[in-house]
Chains A and B, each alone.
Chain A
Amino acid sequence: MANVKGKRFIVNYGEPVGMIAAQSIGEPGTQMILRTFHYAGIEATIATSGLPRIVELVDARKKPATPITYIYLNSSTRNSFEKAEAVAKKINEVNMGAITRRSIENFSKGAIKFILDEQTLAANELTPQQVAQKLAKSMEVHTKVDKGGDIIVRLKTKKLSEIRAINVKIMKKTIQGVEGAGKAVIQRSKDGEFYIVAAGSNVEALIDIDGIDKTRLYTNDVFAMNRLFGIEAARNTLIRELKNTLDEQKIDVDERHIALVADAMTYSGDIKGVGRHGLSGQKNSVFAKAAYEETVKHLVNAAAFGEIDPMRGVTENILVGKQIPIGTGSVRLAIKKEDLKKAKPVK
């Protein structure tokens, strides 16, 4: 029985799976535009959802709008809040801007004075000296802490534009934690385990942090997953993210349709978006490309390089009026016509 039932789900030869996948995702997707929910929660851990997220994934954007990394902890740290907090402290990205109340540029002396915010400084267990040291090291500038606990940065230049540029640069500088990791928040799972959610996706740096479970590190940044774990992981991330976004809006799409899209995007070994610059641009038919977008560009290129359209796709065959190589049209006679003439009837 299982055999019979199972076989019913095997896709037949010539079945236009891509078209069916596109329709199956596209049709319920039209309802998504109207239904966008907003959640309450910690700002940093709210990911883009709904249609914008789907577009982001399918277009294969290099940086997602809201990268989020789920950092699970290993057996020594995951059961204690204090230990988890210690790990989170190492990760939580604090930049100069967050601890500075005001910066005063002195253009005649070529110096910038940073008035630090004592409260945030204390909350992150930082001292002005530490900050000054860190800045001196990473920016290669001379720093000094004055009596009031303010940091004075002395610069070699006195040019207005350069001072301003350096000021902006310093404000973005990571003082504590992992650069590009974003704000790290501790959360507790249903089975009582502590884990960290970070609003960034610098997984290369995060994987080396002590106390984390390297095997379970997960980010919604598909490209980061590809860099760290390879294309298979990226494919799975893509499926998981697409599925989750659709599920969130209670849109029921069979996972195999999504898997097909993910496969098409990743089969080449790197991630390609759907559209002009990705999958559609890779078609080997001139007509199919010209029919999609940038008609003239494709025709001119085809003329310039003497391209040949092999006429194997759907669009180009509809255009000229041939039977399309899909479904019934995918069946062809394997014997040559001449050989057929030689054939004798079977008795």
Chain B
Amino acid sequence: MIMADKGNRKVYLHLNGKAIGYVEQPEAFVAEVRSSRRKGQISGEVNIAYFQKNGEIHINTDRGRLRRPYVIVENGKSKLTAETLEKLKKNEINFNYLLRSGMVEYLDAEEEENAFIALSEEQVNEKTTHLETNFTSIFGLTINTSPYPEHNALARHAMSANFIKQAEGIFASNFNQRFDSRGYILFYPQVPIVSTAAYTSAGIDKHPSGQNFVVAISTYYGYNMADALVINKAAVDRGLGRSLFYKSYSDEERRYPGGQRDRFKMPAPTADGYMGEHAYSKLSEDGIIEPEMEVSEGDVLIGKVAPPRFLEESIGAGGLEEKMRDDSTVLKTGEVGKVDSVILTETTGATRVVKVRIRSLRIPEKGDKFASRHGQKGVVALIVNQEDMPFSDSGIVPDLLLNPHSIPTRLTFGHLMEMLAGKAGTVSGEKVDGTAFVGDGKERLADYSQTLKSHNFDEYGDETLYDGITGTAFKAKVFTGVVYYNRLYHMVSNKIQVRSRGKVQILTHQPTEVKARQGALRFGEMERDALIGHGASLLLKERMLDQSDKTTVLICRQCGDIGYYDHIKRTTVCPTCGSGQLTPVDISYAFKVLLDEIKSMHILPSIKLKE
């Protein structure tokens, strides 16, 4: 790389990362490119950056660059005048006009290095080249939708962004017509009392996804330790956090080479894999379930028969059409609900398709997850009758009790500010703006205090609460406010699972894994280590053998190979050495598989028995 020196300056010019030549007067060149872009002589998508240290100019015109708009500043003056803004407000001009007339331009990451960007109009000086469109844009859209983001820790923002994705709301207003594989619909979504400018301008207030909860920061007999939540039963009964869960199943009549095809119908009891009369009892004559039918685990939703997988099967049974395989769609384990809607339609390939949507009501229960917009998540641990909840002088009973320990270590002061602001908004009946950096934090809080005071509430949001059980007042005042909470779609009813005995894997004879397969919980390596560490050898044996893949094999006392029992001759036989002296031994089936695999590699393992 040739460094540009003062006498003879040669600056290398790169177009989309490739060196294409050099420029002798870099500043003038860059300035010219920029001015012609602003004039519209070249495309607005061209970005140019001059790296003085390296002696390089980079021009980028390719795709995949992140670019964002800035107001152009020239000679210490913003090009975007109040006049133009007024016109913009009246809809006389649009944003594209601003771009065309050289008031606003897009910069990419490289050109941004050359820019000197002011956050607000007051900060503009002679050196300034650009002006940020809005001071909150140092945060992204996601963070800007939550209130008081400047008072929260970054890690909590990251969590909060994830939780908002998981929040239940009304994801589409035509959810009734849709057959999404999963859908969660909140019964009474509310617009947050404390919202932000970005929240409204992004249009999220048109389809909100949460509710305003009356929250008291208090313990409740230890039931809200470690991010557990205590909620009010009366509030739940009034519809707090209530939602619907939709799940769709679908199946089609597939065609196979050879002219065979699937058929939607009630499978005949002779069909291969018939599940018994009871499973099909809810189907109507056409083999498809009816709407509003109550269904639960194991019920068939769509009856379907398919041709056998292998030709031999049908030949053996005689008659190609006769022998069919049951290929019905069954409601998955642990699911219950009502059939919401059934449609029968055709694909473009003229095969019939059935879609069945199951609906089930999801009332908040122990184990359901809620989160505020500050990354404060919690799981319901107790639903308390209203009469047992703490109440205030004015008879207000909180919807939710949040443990005070969840605040200090997580540095989510925005949560507390939202509580106060929410309360102020509630008493005054006005929405509160929680946009980042609007005024000083202290001043904002003073404002809310003033509102509360004028409505005869404590200025700091504290309330004297009375124990719902004893009726006595708590010694300390309790901070109470209104927070916007999201109900997240992680619900116990979708996750709960039990097993004592059940399915096993074919290869190893060990219990299956995963909920959908009625699986067991893995007793893994580290759990095994714990038992070894305790010297609990019998308990370990029980877990690893008796409750897993125990099998009894016959082992030859002469050659040490595995033999079998001949039921006709009623003797034990060793096929390797022909001896009849075999001993039954309990081993794990996995070990038998290992021995078989070793044998398959032409190695003969033998087992020597004691005695």
Contact = CB atoms under 8 A, between A and B. Distances in A.
A329 B594 contact: no
Given A318-B540, A319-B594, A323-B541, A15 B588 contact: no
Given A16-B532, A19-B529, A324 B540 contact: yes
Size band of the interface chain B makes with A: 20 to 34
B538 A320 contact: no
Contacts of A320: 587-588, 591
Contacts of B590: 319
A319 B591 CA distance: 6
Contacts of A318: 528, 540, 544
Contacts, number: 65
B535 A14 contact: yes
Nearest to A290: B594
A150 to B, nearest CB: 34
A322 B598 contact: no
B550 interface: yes
Interface in B233-283: none
A20 interface: yes
A299 interface: yes
A303 B598 CA distance: 9
B516 interface: no
A106 interface: no
A124 interface: no
A321 B588 contact: yes
Contacts of A322: 541
A328 B544 contact: no
Contacts of B541: 321-324, 329
A269 interface: no
Contacts of B587: 320-321
A104 interface: no
B603 interface: yes
B506 interface: no
A324 B533 CA distance: 12
Interface core residue of A321, A325, A328, A329 (most chain B CB under 10 Å): A321
Contacts of A319: 588, 590-591, 594
A319 B593 CA distance: 11
Interface in A292-310: 299, 303, 308
A275 interface: no
A19 B531 CA distance: 10
A256 B424 CA distance: 62
A327 B534 contact: yes
Given A318-B528, A322-B541, A324-B541, A20 B533 contact: yes
B137 interface: no
Interface string B537-572: 110110011000110000000000000000000000
B586 interface: yes
A328 B537 contact: yes
A16 B540 CA distance: 14
A303 B587 CA distance: 21
B537 A326 contact: yes
B598 A321 contact: no
B140 to A, nearest CB: 28
A321 B537 contact: no
Nearest to A327: B535
A329 B538 contact: yes
Contacts of A323: 537-538, 540-541
A319 B544 CA distance: 9
A19 to B, nearest CB: 5
Interface in B152-184: none
Given A319-B594, A321-B587, A326 B532 contact: yes
B536 interface: yes
Interface in B497-554: 528-529, 532-538, 540-541, 544-545, 549-550
Interface core residue of A303, A308, A322 (most chain B CB under 10 Å): A322
Contacts of B603: 299, 303
Contacts of B598: 299, 303
A76 interface: no
Contacts of B591: 319-321
Given A19-B532, A326-B532, A329-B541, 18 more contacts: A16-B533, A19-B529, A23-B529, A299-B603, A314-B532, A318-B540, A318-B544, A319-B591, A320-B588, A321-B544, A324-B537, A324-B541, A327-B532, A327-B536, A328-B538, A329-B537, A329-B538, A330-B537
Interface of B: 528-529, 532-538, 540-541, 544-545, 549-550, 586-588, 590-591, 594, 598, 601, 603, 608
Interface of A: 14-16, 19-20, 23, 299, 303, 308, 314, 318-330
**Closest 7 interchain pairs by CB?**
A327-B535, A329-B537, A321-B588, A321-B545, A303-B603, A324-B537, A320-B591
